[in-house]
Structure 1
Amino acid sequence: MNRRYENTGTRRVDEIKIPVPYGTIAGKWYGPRDVRPILCLHGWLDNCGSFDRLIPLLPSDRSYLAIDLPGHGRTTRIPAGTTYSMMDYMTLVLYIMRRYKWNRVSLLAHSMAANVAFIFAALNPQYVDLLICLDELDPLSYGTDRIVQVVSNNLDKVADLHLRESNNQAAAEPPAYEYEIMVEKQCRATAGSITKQVAPHLLQRMITPSAHQAGKYFFNGDGRIRYLTIPGWSNTIYFELAERIAMPFLAIKANESPFRESKERFDGMVEVLRKVNPNFEVAFVAANHHAHLTQPELVAPIIRDFLNKHSITAEQTSMSKF
């Protein structure tokens, strides 16, 4: 475990490193060290800093482990010549469980990671004792034309990135900017979902000081993550998968965030989940896509009530392993 820590209110927060074959998964551990944590997974192009303002408002008797998914934050990049996929993130959840000998896992996930958690819970309901999805449920479903367009484009872009790596072109330092400009860029990249006030929570894990230009920074993200492979299965498959999710399940939708496909599609999924799962709940907040970061005071009470209603499997764990 990395011994550096910070105090968030009265709660200690440890920076942790989890060994993986190609390096380490970076993250933050909040709360008691001797019980299994709720595993917190961030959205696409974010990092575990997106939970900085939410977790301190959640029950203090629980533990929370927020990680930087591969391709994000301070986690080691995957090897050169490989690509990122949502299925690999599901494998990572299993890897963490098995490395630390957890029999079950509790998941709190936002956006893209909510897609990951949804599918993981459907494929492995025996492993998941609690599921919370923020602003999204299942991934987009693509028709043939869209699959051809997206996959063909991604193959082309990733091949170019691999070529740059093989020619050592990727080793050059990216463009660097003053910090205030980095904040503005981050806000624009999220179409205003991130505000200037909260952007530093993400930027602290996604920028690096320039070695050549004093007072300037560059984004340290892996360009390959922009071409993340998603399943792209049909609506029929996702609706059938939903019928397998029987554990306590909370979905929180931000009213000011657009639906990924349509409101009708979202409502249809909610209807299925309500029909098959008596422990499914859905709540709405008057906020945007990053509500858990920009307005955690709206999101936290809903999660607190849900957690207080549903206990999770008590399992001992050891912080010495992190």
Structure 2
Amino acid sequence: MNPAPVYQARRTARSVFVTVRGLRYHLLAWGDASLATPERPPLVLLHGWMDVAASFQFMVDALSADRYVVAADWRGFGLTDASGQDGYWFTDYLGDLDALLDHPELGLAGRAVDLLGHSMGGNVVMLYAGVRPGRIRRLVNLEGFGMPATVPDEAPGRYARWLDELKTPMQLRRYDSLAEVAARLRKTNPLLGEDKAAWLAPHWARQDGDGRWRILGDTAHKRSNPQLYRVDEVLACWKRIEAPLLWVEGDRTDVAKWWGHRYPRSEFEQRLAVVAKVQRQLLAPAGHMLHHDQPEALAQRLETFLG
């Protein structure tokens, strides 16, 4: 059997390691700070759950102009240290992002940035743009829908479930080869090209001493979150967003598959309406991983929005 073709990156990223809130953080950087101007500030990219910074390579390659782009592996993902705690919380992601934007080695401190987040990362950047509105020039949310609303009566059951899970070791499946890792990526997202899956696999997994491959994600990410998702608090942040927002989604994304009737699309539209300046884009054919499915179309719309 012939090996799968491997995607050839157009722009070369360099790895950068910095200390953030006691953790060794890994970032990828394309270009350097000398490319940044007030009209074209640094573009900061933040990935979603069970993903890595390298996931944005295809979109960055499709940008027509060189610019300074930075993508971070969130804590407990990729090559960034795990938290060493029993779970991961939005407050820690906010703290990490704030520290990254102020870090003297990244060339981001003291200036507004263009900020993009996908899925979980999209949820984080929306909160951050409301908490620190002056730090964001343009904001991009790739399918960061938020979470279903909760009510206080759910708290006892969620705490109990979390306590039970603390007694059970969490595990992630391991794979015998990179080809199996690539196949796993394509099973999750059938629109992901074979060449892109082959390129992404070694960035998404690492080989252990026994020769098997493990996903670069802390198993603690699989535990239930005992904290309730308080929509009123989230919307209080969203209302304070000053930057223009570009909302992008794929035509094949069906939120009902994730949450059923607990979080209908109509409720998301009501939430998004509190943001003052919103532009929308729909990519087709594309699912939740739209930066994999339509990187060229996404890059084009991104550059038009960023100006």
8 A contact 1:112–1:139 mirrored in 2: no
2:272 to 270, 273, 292: 270
Q: Secondary structure at the match of 1:272?
A: coil
1:154-233 matches, cutoff 5 A: 154-161=162-169, 175-188=174-187, 190=188, 192=190, 194=192, 196-213=194-211, 216-227=212-223, 229=225, 232-233=228-229
Q: Secondary structure at the match of 2:253?
A: coil
The amino acid that maps onto 2:181 is M
The amino acid that maps onto 1:132 is V
- Shift of residue 21, structure 1, vs aligned partner: 4.9
8 A contact 2:47–2:74 mirrored in 1: yes
Q: Verify: 1:99 aligned to 2:103, yes or no.
A: yes
- Shift of residue 141, structure 1, vs aligned partner: 2.3
1:85 to 78, 85, 89: 89
8 A contact 2:14–2:28 mirrored in 1: yes
1:78-126 C-alpha deviation (Å, 9 max, x unpaired) = 23x4432121111011111222233433311000110011111112212
- Shift of residue 270, structure 1, vs aligned partner: 3.2
2:125 alignment partner in structure 1: 117
1:18-60 C-alpha deviation (Å, 9 max, x unpaired) = 2235442112101233235211000000001210100122252
Q: Distance in 1 between matches of 2:189 and 2:32?
A: 36
Q: Secondary structure at the match of 2:33?
A: coil
Cα 1:288–1:145, aligned 2, differ >3 Å: closer, same or farther?
A: farther
Most deviating of 15-24 and 287-296: 15-24
TM-score calculated relative to the size of structure 1: 0.78
1:277-312 C-alpha deviation (Å, 9 max, x unpaired) = 2x321111121000111221221211111011xxxx
Cα 1:68–1:134, aligned 2, differ >3 Å: closer, same or farther?
A: same
Q: Secondary structure at the match of 1:130?
A: strand
Cα 1:228–1:26, aligned 2, differ >3 Å: closer, same or farther?
A: farther
- Shift of residue 209, structure 1, vs aligned partner: 2.0
The amino acid that maps onto 1:46 is D
Cα 1:20–1:200, aligned 2, differ >3 Å: closer, same or farther?
A: farther
Cα 1:102–1:159, aligned 2, differ >3 Å: closer, same or farther?
A: farther
1:3 alignment partner in structure 2: none
The amino acid that maps onto 2:306 is L
Q: Percent identity?
A: 20
Q: Verify: 1:134 aligned to 2:142, yes or no.
A: yes
Q: Distance in 2 between matches of 1:25 and 1:47?
A: 12
Cα 1:139–1:37, aligned 2, differ >3 Å: closer, same or farther?
A: farther
8 A contact 1:38–1:107 mirrored in 2: yes
Q: Distance in 1 between matches of 2:186 and 2:290?
A: 14
The amino acid that maps onto 2:150 is Y
Cα 1:251–1:195, aligned 2, differ >3 Å: closer, same or farther?
A: same
Q: Secondary structure at the match of 1:126?
A: helix
- Alignment RMSD, CA only? 2.8
The amino acid that maps onto 2:44 is L
Q: Verify: 1:71 aligned to 2:71, yes or no.
A: no
Q: Distance in 2 between matches of 1:138 and 1:239?
A: 10
TM-score calculated relative to the size of structure 2: 0.81
- Shift of residue 200, structure 1, vs aligned partner: 3.5
Q: Distance in 2 between matches of 1:93 and 1:195?
A: 31
Q: Secondary structure at the match of 2:162?
A: helix
2:288 alignment partner in structure 1: 289
8 A contact 1:114–1:134 mirrored in 2: yes
Cα 1:121–1:21, aligned 2, differ >3 Å: closer, same or farther?
A: closer
What stretches of structure 2 of length at least 5 have no aligned partner? 1-7
1:167 alignment partner in structure 2: none
- Shift of residue 246, structure 1, vs aligned partner: 1.6
8 A contact 1:109–1:132 mirrored in 2: yes
Q: How many residues align?
A: 284
